[in-house]
Amino acid sequence: MEFGFTEEQKILRESVRDFMERECPPEYVRELDEKEQYPYDLYGKMAKLGWFGLPFPEEYDGSGLGAVDFVIVGEEMSRFSYEIAAGFGISIFCGLNILENGNEEQKNFYIPKMIKNEIRLSISITEPNAGSDAASLMTSAVLDGDSWVINGQKTFQTAADAKNNIMSVYVRTDRDLPKHKGISLILVPSNNPGVEIRRIKTLGRKMLHTNEVFFEDVRVPKGNMVGELNNGWKILLSGLELERLYGCSTFIGSSQTVVDMALEHSKQRVQFGRPIGTFQAIGHMLADMQTEVDAARLLTYRAAWMYDQGMPCMKEVSMAKLFGSETYARLSNQGMQIMGGYGYSLEYDMQRHFRDSRIITVSAGSSQMQRTVISRAMGLKVV
């Protein structure tokens, strides 16, 4: 494994950083957070640069880049905003599921539109009684002539209320099969008749919005099913490694920004006649924080390299997700401590990291579930 980047990857990293410095300054991020606005304009500019097509084949207007390249993009983007980086990835992963499992008509229709930012894609899995136990979902779809009729409820759905959004909805299509076997994936426009979306007010992640989604006799064409009937669980798992890898990249980029902010404050803030960073308690805290970021970065890039080599890496991805998410949550709390009252003030960005980071040890596979995956990969029969 090489620890350096290729020249092409260095250029990619610099181009993302230059764009974000120019188009996504702290004032812009702060405004979106305070007004709870979706970053439509910024994503539109990214689409013009072809960024939404980075991991897709050229035949679908993509760039065909690998996992390491995608992690580079996520890390650099999240240095400016974890939430903007996370939202960037949501459409892409739903599109990759269509790429891997859809038919040619679906691929040719949805993927180019998503890459051009003409449509957005979101994922709809979690239900009131199906979270980590996702296979227990009960939202149903019944075939009626040439249409699927969907009834049920989803919760904690990110960006479901975005304009021109199409939800990738996992539904139960056969109640007589074991729970992992009777699930299918159906594409449902958010503005489809019978769909009701209710905003859930949350502590953080205010730009993308978190929603409850209700389906009452929602009819969509039979052709909106992705993949084979009752094969939804396999589809759900098929993109999990790359999705979590990208998530890990957003943790390390955001964590690095937290350290940088706390470090700068420790150099500027004077108490007892000297900068607080010169006190051993603060200096050692910052040293530990940077060490944790670098450890999370190495875990992430190792897993991404393994993925690009075609090697099994679910354990390594889970380790990176576990450590990276807990690192961001822990470091944002420590950053608040170092900045004191300034960190608690809405005029400074540390409080936003504190708010945004709290959910990431829960979402996209909780820390407890990651530990279960890792321990099972070690040969333990953990239940």
What is the structure's pLDDT at 56?
Answer: 96
Place of tokens 């405004």: 31
Burial class, 302, CB count within 10 angstroms (exposed 0-12 / middle 13-18 / buried 19+): middle
What's the mean pLDDT when you consider all of the chain?
Answer: 97
| CATH number of 337's domain | 1.20.140.10
Q: Is 256 within 8 Å of 263 (Cβ atoms)?
A: no
One domain for residues 212 and 244:
no
Given pLDDT bands bounded at 50, 70 and 90, which one contains residue 4?
Answer: confident
Catalytic residue among 243, 292, 316, 326: 243
Mean pLDDT of 243-254: 97
Mean pLDDT of 231-252: 95
One domain for residues 206 and 277:
no
Rg value, the chain, Cα:
21
Mean pLDDT of 240-263: 97
Amino acid symbol at 43: Y
pLDDT tens per residue, range 134-143: 999 999 999 9
Mean pLDDT of 83-96: 96
One domain for residues 227 and 242:
no
Q: What total of structural domains would you count in the chain?
A: 3
One domain for residues 319 and 336:
yes
CA dist 118 to 33, 296, 310, Å?
24, 35, 32
Q: Is 112 within 8 Å of 61 (Cβ atoms)?
A: yes
One domain for residues 347 and 360:
yes
One domain for residues 162 and 244:
no
**pLDDT exceeds cutoff 80 at 2:** no
Mean pLDDT of 302-331: 97
pLDDT tens per residue, range 150-168: 999 999 999 999 999 999 9
One domain for residues 249 and 333:
yes
**DSSP 3-state assignment of 357?**
helix
Burial class, 95, CB count within 10 angstroms (exposed 0-12 / middle 13-18 / buried 19+): buried
One domain for residues 126 and 243:
no
First CA to last CA distance, the chain = 34
Mean pLDDT of 22-38: 97
One domain for residues 191 and 138:
yes
Mean pLDDT of 3-8: 91
Cα separation, 100 vs 226, whole angstroms: 10
What is the structure's pLDDT at 239?
Answer: 87
Nearest Cα neighbor of 71 from 9, 23, 27 is: 9
One domain for residues 109 and 130:
no
Asked whether residue 227 is assigned to any structural domain, the reply reads yes
One domain for residues 242 and 369:
yes
User: Domain span at residue 109?
Assistant: 7-119
pLDDT tens per residue, range 338-377: 999 999 999 999 999 999 999 999 999 999 999 999 999 9
Asked whether residue 270 is assigned to any structural domain, the reply reads yes
Asked whether residue 382 is assigned to any structural domain, the reply reads no
Asked whether residue 1 is assigned to any structural domain, the reply reads no
Q: Is 243 a catalytic residue?
A: yes
Look at residues 88, 119, 150 and tell me which one is the last residue of a structural domain.
119
Cα separation, 103 vs 228, whole angstroms: 10
Look at residues 232, 260, 275 and tell me which one is the last residue of a structural domain.
232
pLDDT tens per residue, range 94-113: 999 999 999 999 999 999 99
Given pLDDT bands bounded at 50, 70 and 90, which one contains residue 1?
Answer: low
Give the contacts of 68 (CB within 8 A, at least 6 positions apart): 9, 301, 304, 305, 308
Q: What percent of the chain has pLDDT over 70?
A: 100
Look at residues 232, 267, 299 and tell me which one is the last residue of a structural domain.
232
| CATH number of 68's domain | 1.10.540.10
Asked whether residue 2 is assigned to any structural domain, the reply reads no
Asked whether residue 383 is assigned to any structural domain, the reply reads no
**DSSP 3-state assignment of 213?**
strand
One domain for residues 244 and 362:
yes
